[in-house]
Amino acid sequence: MHSSFGSDPKVYSNAAVAYGEVRDGCLVRVHSRCLYSEVFDSRECDCGWQLKRSRELLTVQGGVLIYLDQEGRGAGLWAKANAYLLNNEEGLDTYEAYDRLGLSHDSREYADAVQILDELGLTSVRLLTNNPAKIEALEKAGITVAHVPLQAQPTPTTVAYLQAKKRNGHLLLPTSSLTSPSSCRTIVAIGDFSLTAVRGQSGDTA
């Protein structure tokens, strides 16, 4: 277990878990935290699936899982909840919602991931990702990267999300046009505030 702490380690921390023997060319997943999908089982994005699938592959092949405390593409949970609200009420995708909120589409940084890989002595990796920004960040740091796609099968509740990611540069295969099912709304409470923030299939915990 490796960890890297930000300016306030009480509220911010990044961590990595090594699976088996770690060597150059091993499998690596750099994953950003997603509370909605990883804890509440939201079906609106593919983050939870990506984490689960990465762990399955790493368990078999060995490598490193780096878990970054960068909720909402670095904007934080409150911003993410507001983006979900705009998605529910106005049909905006997450990129459009972030524009409306005056936020960067993606403010994540990968310096801590690079630091952890350096500490492990890795100079080349097979990176599980669809995000070219992660590839670029590691390559700029002198790490040789072989891209390994990590794309979930689109579902009626994720197809619009995946299409938005593809339009904004993610390395995804074309997603078919699917009709979203009837949805239910779940109240998400953050601090003293409540938002109708996450939409899921009937019966899902969002």
Q: Please give the DSSP secondary-structure letter assigned to residue 44.
A: S
- 69 counts as catalytic: no
**162 CB contacts (<8 Å, ≥6 apart)?**
46, 151, 152, 154, 172, 175
- 93 counts as catalytic: no
Tokens of 97: 């919602």
**172 CB contacts (<8 Å, ≥6 apart)?**
130, 151, 162, 165, 166
- CA dist 205 and 181 (Å) reads 15
Q: Please answer whether residues 139 and 145 qualify as being in contact, where contact means their C-beta atoms are separated by less than 8 angstroms.
A: yes
Of these residues, 29, 43, 73, 108, which one is catalytic?
108
Torsion angles phi and psi, residue 46, rounded to 5 = -105, 10
Residue that has been written with the tokens 């150059």 in this structure: 24
Torsion angles phi and psi, residue 87, rounded to 5 = -65, -45
Of these residues, 106, 112, 167, 204, which one is catalytic?
106
Residues 22, 28, 34: CA angle, nearest 5 degrees = 135
Q: Which residues are catalytic?
A: 106, 108
